[in-house]
């Protein structure tokens, strides 16, 4: 079975530009979450979507937005890029079980470099 896939794998942008990152969940998974991982730190939660509805949002500015499509794939958008947005962006999918028991399956990530 295919795991979580993300595209692109690497991306270089300049300050002020906009970026769109894409994620396809594991077949049958209806929940997608996005995380940002800055070098040397653990991943930080950005968004979670379930059945196209936002179910959770982390402490990130409004420049970050996301959406989930009817096929459960998802996009993360970041506007007005800053140097500090350089990071590994991780997507995770899950079956959306009862809270606490949910296992998340992560993709390989998109590495974004902002110059």
**In angstroms, rounded to a whole number, what is the distance separating the alpha carbons of residues 106 and 6?**
10
- Could you tell me the smallest distance in angstroms from the CB atom of residue 110 to another protein? 10
Binding site for another protein (CB under 8 A): 4, 31, 33, 35, 41-45, 48, 55-56, 58, 90, 92, 94, 96, 99-109
Q: Which is nearer to another protein, 7 or 14 (CB)?
A: 7
Question: What DSSP designation does 25 have?
Answer: P
Judged by DSSP in three states, 22 sits in: strand
Nearer to another protein, 81 or 93 (CB): 93
Distance CA 93, CA 27 (A): 9
Nearer to another protein, 11 or 96 (CB): 96
């Amino acid at each position: 079975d295919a795991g979580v896939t993300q595209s692109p794998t690497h991306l270089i942008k300049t300050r002020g530009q906009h970026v769109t990152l894409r994620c396809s969940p594991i077949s049958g998974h209806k929940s997608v979450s996005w995380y940002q991982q800055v070098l040397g730190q653990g991943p930080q939660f950005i968004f979670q979507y379930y059945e196209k509805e936002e179910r959770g949002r982390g402490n990130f500015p409004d420049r970050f937005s996301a959406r989930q499509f009817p096929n459960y794939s998802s996009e993360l958008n970041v506007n007005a890029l800053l140097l500090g947005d350089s990071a590994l962006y991780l997507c995770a999918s899950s079956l959306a079980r009862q809270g606490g028991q949910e296992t998340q399956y992560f993709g390989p990530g998109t590495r974004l470099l902002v110059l």
